[in-house]
Structures are given as structure tokens and as C-alpha cells.
Amino acid sequence: MANKIETVQALVLNTQPAFEAVLCDKSIAFQREAEFAMQIMQANDCLIDCAVKNPQSAIDAVTNIAAIGISLNPAKKHAYLVPRKGKICLDISYMGLMDLAIQSGSIRWAQAVLVHAADRFTIIGVDKPPVHERDPFAKDRGDIIGVYVVAKTADGDYLTETMTRDEIDGIMNRSESVKAGKTTPWKTDYGEMAKKTVVKRAQKYWPKTERLEKAVHYMDTDGGEGIVLNPEVKQLTSEQMDEVLARVAAFTDAEALASYWPELVAYLRDTASMSQYEHIKQAVADRGAALKAPVQEEAA
């Protein structure tokens, strides 16, 4: 295990050039985030194994911290590293998502709250905060019946988004891990996932910012977090798909293809459905592997 930890530590430290190249928030320091990343991985053998078996996923996760502009600082509870489908993913919490919206100027503040059966919850207007009366000292407030998030915009307006328990469970039941009967955050931290779900839905109606959109796109694609609200909103035409795939196939150098990937992701974020994104991503991975194979054979 000691050798694995040393290998992963070297891997994380070697991401510094890529990290600093995409850094969008100068308050986030590589050294601190690298330390947080190692602390998280050393506390989870599964993460260490994922990093050893799939080092690129560890590199991508650490680099995405800089690209999105979020911290792994455990005191903030904004983001975590988690093992998912054999790779390491950057997992953004509902608090992290709201903080990104605030820091990027989309909103002034926001709060996500669970509603229980014994609570009194009322919407009193589209531009006013809701009324939520509850006894914080009650031993039993009843089952969770819904969740809401209220946000205040830069103009002083209030935006409230609500979801019923049935709506939340409908989203939960789309998760592949839940369908497979695995232990997931939906089982261990249902309330947190419910809040995350309503925040993700609400942010569609908040003023748009690049950082917020980038974070949500990551969560829906590479993050693979299992909260799919509307995965087929955007769609490339068949001709556009053919053009993208043909361009990927035309690359003759693996490094050039890797350099092109960020540009392609930016294009797909605004134009492609999630299934199309996954298809193109696999095509890029396959082409990259094919280009690297002859080089590796020569080195052997």
C-alpha cells in the first residue's frame, strides 16, 4: 500500500502544470488542493486503487478542481473525490453548487431545505421567499415530503424551486447504481441528494454564468453522479455527429488529439445531448489508444 500511495502522490503532484493552466479562481492554490486530494485518497483504499488502475481519472479530477473553481477543503464541504465506475470523480455537493453560483455572480445567496410532514410550508408569491414554519426541537417532524431551494438574485428578486417526494424519488430511480441495488448516496444521504437535485433543477432559472454551467455540465457528464434531470435537451444532427467523428478519426497524433479535447468539450457542452457526448468521448478515447499503441510497441 505504501508504494501505491507514493505512486498516487507523484501522480497528483505532476498535475500542477495542467492545474495552473486551467485555473479560473486565483484563490485556489495547487499545493493546498493537492494536499486535500491526498488526504481524501489516503483515507479510502478504493480511491487509491482507482488512481493506480486509472491514473488519467485522478489527473482529470484534480485538474477539474481548477477548471471549475472549487475546493476540496473538507471544512467547506463543497467538493469531494469519489470512486465511480472504476475511476475517480470530482463530486460537487449542493453547497458547492450554490457557492459557485454566488461566487460567479449568478445569485446573492441561496438555501436548500427539506420539508417534513409536520411542517407548514407555503408559497406566497413568485417573487417572494416561501414561508416555512417548523419546530427545530421536535423529536419527530414526520417523513420528508419535499424539498425546496430559495435564491436571491442580484436584482433582489427571490426565486423558489420546489420538488415533491415523488419527484425526488423519480430522479433517484433513474440512477444506474440505485437500479442495481448498490449502496449509494441516495441510500446513505438521501436528504443531501434531495437538496442537490432541487438545486440542479433550480439553477436552470438562475442568471447564467460560465463557471456554474461548466460545473453542471461536468456533473452530468464526466462526474457521472447519477442525477439526470433532462438528459436529451440538446441534440446534434446526424451530419454534425458525422463531422465530429470524422475529425476525431483524422487525427494522426495522440498529443494533438488530447490538446483538441478541451475545445471539443466546450462545443459539445452547448450543442450535444448526454448520450452523444458519451459516444464522442469514447471515440476520442479509442482513437487516442490506437495512436499510442505503435509508440508503446516501439518503446518495448
User: Which range, 168-172, 205-209, 294-298, is most confident?
Assistant: 168-172
pLDDT tens digits along 163-206: 999 999 999 998 888 888 888 899 999 999 999 999 998 998 88
How far from 194 is each of 93, 98, 294, CA to CA, in Å?
Answer: 11, 14, 48
pTM exceeding 0.75: no
Nearest to 9 by CA among 39, 45, 32: 39
| Confidence (pLDDT) at 232 | 46
| Confidence (pLDDT) at 222 | 74
Exposure string for 173-198, b = 16+ CB within 10 A, e = fewer: eebebbeeeeebbbeeebebbbbbbb
pLDDT: is 190 or 226 the higher one?
190
Helix (H, G, I), strand (E, B) or coil at 129: coil
User: CA-CA distance, 277 to 94, in Å (whole number)?
Assistant: 24
Chain-centre distance of CA 3, in angstroms?
A: 30
CB 187 within 8 A of CB 200: no
| Confidence (pLDDT) at 65 | 95
Model confidence at 113: pLDDT above 90 = yes
CB 159 within 8 A of CB 150: yes
Instruction: Return the amino acid letter for 111.
Output: Q
| Confidence (pLDDT) at 267 | 82
Q: How many CB atoms neighbour CB 235 within 10 A?
A: 13
Domain boundaries, the chain: 2-92, 95-208, 238-299
pLDDT tens digits along 25-46: 999 999 999 999 999 999 999 9
pLDDT tens digits along 44-87: 999 999 999 999 999 999 999 999 999 999 999 999 999 988 89
